[in-house]
Amino acid sequence: MKQFVLLSLTCLTLWGCKQAPHKEAPFKMIDQVDFSQVHIQDNFWSPRLKKHISTTLPVCIDQIENQTGRIRNFENAAKREGEHSGIFFDDSDVYKALEGMAYSLINNPNPELEKKADEWIDKFAAAQLPDGYINTYYTLTAPEKRWTNMDKHEMYCAGHMIEAGVAYYKATGKRKLLDVCIRMTDHMMSIFGPGKRDWVPGHEEIELALVKLYQTTGEQKYLDFADWLIEERGHGHGSKGGEGEWDPFYYQDDKPVREMSDIAGHAVRCMYLYCGMADVAALKQDSGYIESLNRLWDDVVLRNMYITGGIGSSRHNEGFTEDYDLPNLDAYCETCASVGMVLWNQRMNQFTGDSKYIDVLERSMYNGALAGISLEGDRFFYVNPLESKGDHHRQAWYGCACCPSQISRFLPSIGNYIYGTSNEAIWVNLYIGNSTEINTDNTNVTLRQETNYPWDGTVKLTVTPSNPLKKEIRLRIPSWCEQYTLSVNGQLVKAPTEKGYAVLNKEWKQGDVISLSMEMPVKLMTADPRVKQNIGKRAIQRGPLVYCMEEVDNPQDFDNLKIAANTSFNAQFNPKLLNGITTIKATTNELAITLIPYYTWDNRKAGKMKVWIDYNE
């Protein structure tokens, strides 16, 4: 897909732009504005966030408490007796759902939800053993086998618990779960580390969680432990304790991380590893990690990423095979991996100030990740193919339920990705209706963003500093945007661009208004010719959204429908269809094809679907 990526990630000649001189940026140059400070009021995202509160979280709670044995595992572990039900890593689903509850509480206080969270936390604390260890699978099945099999997800589950503990402490100020996390981490560090036992977590996650624990507690030892675990890879330490063969490629253990250049193995594990590397690199100013991450990013985005921002082409290993192997019908594209792409690319942007990372973040967020949940918020995709014969549908839950719990913690945190601040600038990364107040240069600045994005490319940003503020405001010009106009207080401006951002530099006063108008034409996208599955096909994109055709809209001769060089496209907003969407009519010689945004498919009558459409030259 290299050709596609070059098309989508490189902004072409723009109206009123000149390229500013390139400046090297220091590590960790941008601090994200936390979503707790961002209040979203947006026609696209606000209904989804309301569904998250009214539907998604209750679904997760019901599944965990009533439909599966996940919460009972903790109750049994507290009694030190009883059976363990489900998969050995099911604790992680409970932790991720709790993290989603915590994030919801931050911007939407709810005493009943908080009470439920406290009940769960009491069960976690009761399940913790005196030495700090907590994992219901081993406590109930084989306590003598703790820490013998690196692929049994003990550190993975601990990592998700840490993320939930940090989130809940941040949301409520209550530290009961945070203290449980600290005791478990100290337990792990009493066994593993320099001069102690080697360990390679089979499923990464603990690395980035330890960074959050370091940032919350200020304890350097947690950051150092994250770094140590990352450095353990690629030195022959991986082992399943005799329970199966350790595949170093599958586990990202084939070489030291500083030498990595190609993504391999399980897609979600890769994303968590890269997030941990990026966090440690930023905090420790480690250029070796940065060089490796840059090589890996090129390999992922230029050779192994779907047009939806999804990754992982193989169901066999939930990951990768060879470069440019991107099947549509059999695409894996796990929802968790698309969320991982958002998390990783946000980190890459933080210490580079390069908009190409936000371009990929946005692509993954609006297409790969958002497709993972139904419009009603009650059903989920684990796998996100780019073609369906009519037999692939969202489910209420899964035996391996990592994706429903993942999306439940991702949605309420989308405000994390909108703004950033640095010494020289305020960064506007995403266009979502919201208001926020930030403090920069000892000045409080209120930003109010009004937009109908992603259906429309017009954005109004009102800037209200408490005192006049001399500072750059950098607005990302998305890679899909070829033409735009920019004005300040009604006056057209010619702003220089740097790494994909339009740079406005002036003294900002109360009520200053920035207006950005981006043309949003329909685009025909062509895959790299090395992607054999897409030879003779085209995909349709408008703005950040990838489109698809569903059989329910195109019932006549679906398999033989084509677009051509003379096809005309008409985009029109339909407020009554799929909660309000812009549809695209592709007309060729009076034959019309209706296309809908990819994230909305499988929300109506079952039927076939395809993203890549046959093309008649």
Q: Is there a single domain that holds both residue 360 and residue 492?
A: no
* pLDDT surpassing 90 at residue 281: yes
Q: Is there a single domain that holds both residue 97 and residue 117?
A: yes
More confident residue, 3 or 352: 352
According to the model, what pLDDT value does residue 27 have? 59
- Residues spanned by the domain of 566: 520-612
* pLDDT surpassing 80 at residue 338: yes
Instruction: Write down the H helix ranges in 304-370.
Output: 335-350, 355-363
Tell how strand 522-525 and strand 387-388 pair up: unpaired
* pLDDT surpassing 70 at residue 72: yes
- 86-113 residue pLDDT tens: 999 999 999 999 999 999 999 999 999 9
According to the model, what pLDDT value does residue 19 have? 30
Distance CA 386, CA 404 (A): 20
According to the model, what pLDDT value does residue 314 have? 82
Is 537 among the domain residues? yes
Is 55 among the domain residues? no
* pLDDT surpassing 70 at residue 51: yes
* pLDDT surpassing 70 at residue 9: no
Element housing 31 (H / E):
strand 31-32
User: Which among 170, 37, 167 is positioned nearest to 440, based on CA atoms?
Assistant: 37
**What DSSP letter does each residue of 96-145 carry, written as one string?**
HHHHHHHHHHHHS--HHHHHHHHHHHHHHHHHS-TTS---HHHHHH-GGG
Choice among 133-142, 222-231, 279-288 with the minimum mean pLDDT: 279-288
Q: Residue 18 — very low, low, confident or very high, per pLDDT cuts 50/70/90?
A: very low
Distance CA 10, CA 500 (A): 8
307 DSSP 8-state letter: T
Residue partners of 451: CB distance under 8 A and separation at least 6: 42, 431, 432, 433, 458, 459, 460
Percent of the chain with pLDDT over 70: 95
Q: Is there a single domain that holds both residue 348 and residue 395?
A: yes
Q: Is there a single domain that holds both residue 464 and residue 590?
A: no
Sign of CA dihedral 375, 378, 383, 387: negative
- 479-496 residue pLDDT tens: 999 999 999 999 999 999
Q: Residue 28 — very low, low, confident or very high, per pLDDT cuts 50/70/90?
A: low
More confident residue, 303 or 20: 303
Is 12 among the domain residues? no
**Count of domains forming the chain:** 4
* pLDDT surpassing 80 at residue 15: no
Q: Is there a single domain that holds both residue 443 and residue 577?
A: no
* pLDDT surpassing 60 at residue 276: yes
Distance CA 257, CA 254 (A): 9
Q: Is there a single domain that holds both residue 364 and residue 492?
A: no
Q: Is there a single domain that holds both residue 317 and residue 172?
A: no
Q: Is there a single domain that holds both residue 344 and residue 477?
A: no
Q: Tokens 């339909």 correspond to what residue? A: 574
Q: Tokens 């001189």 correspond to what residue? A: 21
Q: How far is CA 542 from CA 220, 402, 584, in A?
A: 46, 30, 9
Mean pLDDT of the chain: 94
Distance CA 98, CA 176 (A): 14
**b/e per residue, 450-472, with b = 16+ CB within 10 A?**
bbbbbbebbbebbbbbeeebebb
Instruction: Write down the H helix ranges in 173-266.
Output: 176-191, 206-217, 220-231
Q: Is there a single domain that holds both residue 210 and residue 91?
A: yes
Q: Is there a single domain that holds both residue 507 and residue 526?
A: no
Is 132 among the domain residues? yes
Distance CA 143, CA 104 (A): 35
Tell how strand 522-525 and strand 537-542 pair up: antiparallel
Q: Is there a single domain that holds both residue 535 and residue 435?
A: no
The mean per-residue pLDDT over the stretch 375-381 comes to 96
Distance CA 54, CA 138 (A): 35
Distance CA 70, CA 611 (A): 37
What pTM does this model have?
0.94
Distance CA 278, CA 230 (A): 11
According to the model, what pLDDT value does residue 14 have? 22
Tell me the CATH number at 469.
2.60.40
User: What are the backbone angles phi and psi of residue 14, rounded to the nearest 5°?
Assistant: -115, 150
259 DSSP 8-state letter: G
* pLDDT surpassing 50 at residue 16: no
579 DSSP 8-state letter: T
According to the model, what pLDDT value does residue 111 have? 97
Distance CA 452, CA 473 (A): 21
* pLDDT surpassing 50 at residue 345: yes
* pLDDT surpassing 90 at residue 315: no
Domain boundary among 388, 416, 444: 416
Beta bridge partners of residue 388, listed in sequence order:
609
According to the model, what pLDDT value does residue 29 have? 82
Beta bridge partners of residue 592, listed in sequence order:
587
**Angle value at C-alpha 557, between 552 and 561, nearest 5 degrees:** 95
Is 46 among the domain residues? no
In this structure, how many other beta carbons lie within 10 angstroms of the beta carbon of residue 540?
25
* pLDDT surpassing 70 at residue 47: yes
According to the model, what pLDDT value does residue 7 have? 31
According to the model, what pLDDT value does residue 316 have? 81
The residue type found at 132 is: G
Q: Is there a single domain that holds both residue 355 and residue 443?
A: no
Domain boundary among 244, 275, 297: 244
* 3 state DSSP class of 370: helix
Domain boundary among 356, 384, 416: 416
According to the model, what pLDDT value does residue 515 have? 98
Distance CA 372, CA 462 (A): 33
Catalogue the active-site residues.
Answer: 318, 402
* pLDDT surpassing 60 at residue 4: no
Q: Dihedral (C-alpha) 217, 223, 224, 228: value to the nearest 10 degrees?
A: 140
Distance CA 442, CA 423 (A): 12
* pLDDT surpassing 80 at residue 5: no
